Structure 1
Amino acid sequence: MRSFSDLLDTAVLHKGSLKKIESTLPVPASAEELQAKPNSFFLSVMSKRVFQAGLKHSMVEQRWPHFEKAFDGFDPVQAAMLSDSDIDDLMSNKDLIRHLGKMKSVRNNASMVLEVCREYGNFGTFLAQWPSDDIVGLWTYLKKVGTQLGGMSGSRFLRMAGKDTFLLTNDVVQVLKAEGVVEKVPSSQKELKATQAVFNQWAEESGRPLCQVSRIVSYTVMAEVLT
């Protein structure tokens, strides 16, 4: 398996310079920053990611102020108390994206947020305390306990919320396959743990957070004309 330094050299070759790469890298939130965010922030971001799945992201962004208003700022207590009649009313709101399954996921995920808060005090503390060297374990938790947070939605929610995570984009999976880590998109616990181990190794070698390792790895397979 290639070292991270070799991967970075390839990424620099594709992007033109290390400076260009650095300017595009995500920066994860600190533990303190995650803990300072209100629970409504996490439910809003979580819900936005659910609605983005399979849809044009710009369209969801454009509609999101209407969602914030319709869901009263995504207060988890209020969202968890939504009745089926309330959901029906939301489904009749033409300013929203009227997908019943995704609409119901807001209520279900609000209940998950509240359950986590009963143990950790707030959702941000829960995320902050989850070790990044087992981020796939957090993906599994969100998929199991949450609603419509499987596939890429769990990891993308975490990235949007500021929690350090790598992403299994097509480019990243291509590299993992080339390095003999997996044969397909990781889905089993064995495949996910093998993937985590590789990212842990690259993160330790580089001193970078997982999100930056992930982005740089993706650049190694980008075919573009250098200018």
Structure 2
Amino acid sequence: MRDYRWLEEYCLNRFGSRQALEARLPIARPAEELRALSDDRYLSNIALRVFRAGLKHSVVDARWPAFEEVFFGFDPHKVVLMSAEHIERLMQDKRLIRHLAKLRSVPRNAQMVLDLNREYGSMGNLIADWPGEDIVGLWRLLAKRGNQLGGLSVPRFLRMVGKDTFVTTGDVLTALTGMGVLDRPTATSQRDLATVQKAFNQLADESGRSMGQLSAMLAFTVNH
């Protein structure tokens, strides 16, 4: 596996200066901010991620105020009480994106948020305290217990709320393959994800950088 020095040199050459590179790298929220974010905001972001999947983000975002209204500000205690009949009636609301499976996911994910609240004190506590060196473990937990959270939905949701994570996009996987971490640019099995996690942990130890920054830097090494 190529080391961090190679990755940094490549990115510096691409952008011309350290200042230009740093301006392109994401900054995660500190743990205290993640902990302070309320459960309704976590549920709203989960739902937003679910509806963005496969759709143009600007279209979903433009309709989101209506979603906030019909789902009671995404208060999980209220949303979890919404009946199947109530959800089906929302299919008649032209302000919304009328996708029944995704609409049904909202109260189901509200139940997940409430369950995690009881187990960890709040969704924020869970996300803030989860160690970066096992971020794929958090992906696995949320995907298993949530609804419509397969694929890259969990890491993208975590990015939305500011939790430090890498994302196994095609560019990142291609870069890891080129660095000798993977045999092919896919990471669908738990074994593959463990290999990717190990590589990110090594790069983080070498550089002191966040997972999100390393993820972006790896993506920059793929030509477009």
Please indicate the TM-score interval, normalised by the length of the shorter structure: over 0.9
Amino acid at match of 2:56: K
Partner-residue secondary structure (3-state), 2:93: coil
Partner of 1:203: 204
Partner of 1:21: 21
**What are the Cα deviations for residues 127-151 of structure 1, in whole angstroms up to 9, with x where unaligned?**
1111110001111111111111111
**What are the Cα deviations for residues 93-115 of structure 1, in whole angstroms up to 9, with x where unaligned?**
10110001111111111100000
Q: Distance in 2 between matches of 1:222 and 1:73?
A: 42
Q: CA deviation at 1:24?
A: 1.9
Amino acid at match of 2:213: Q
Partner-residue secondary structure (3-state), 2:155: helix
Q: Distance in 2 between matches of 1:186 and 1:64?
A: 32
For CA contacts below 8 A with separation 6 or more, give which structure has more relative contact order. 1
Partner of 2:49: 49
Q: CA deviation at 1:214?
A: 0.5
The answer as to whether partners of 2:2 and 2:180 remain within 8 angstroms in 1 is no
Q: Distance in 1 between matches of 2:83 and 2:135?
A: 34
Partner of 1:121: 121
Partner of 2:98: 98
Amino acid at match of 2:8: L
Does the alignment pair 1:184 with 2:185? yes
Partner of 2:80: 80
Amino acid at match of 1:211: G
Q: For this pair of structures, how many residues does the alignment match?
A: 223
Partner of 2:216: 215
**What are the Cα deviations for residues 164-197 of structure 1, in whole angstroms up to 9, with x where unaligned?**
1001111101011122322232111111101000
Give structure 1 stretches of 5+ with no counterpart. none
Partner-residue secondary structure (3-state), 2:158: helix
Q: Distance in 2 between matches of 1:133 and 1:184?
A: 21
Q: CA deviation at 1:79?
A: 1.0
Give structure 2 stretches of 5+ with no counterpart. none
Instruction: State the superposition RMSD in angstroms.
Output: 1.1
Partner of 2:169: 169
Amino acid at match of 1:185: T
TM-score normalised by the chain length of structure 1:
0.95
The answer as to whether partners of 1:14 and 1:222 remain within 8 angstroms in 2 is no
- Between the two proteins, what is the percent identity of the paired residues? 48
TM-score normalised by the chain length of structure 2:
0.96
**Runs in 1 of length 4+ with deviation above 6 angstroms?**
none
Q: CA deviation at 1:215?
A: 0.7
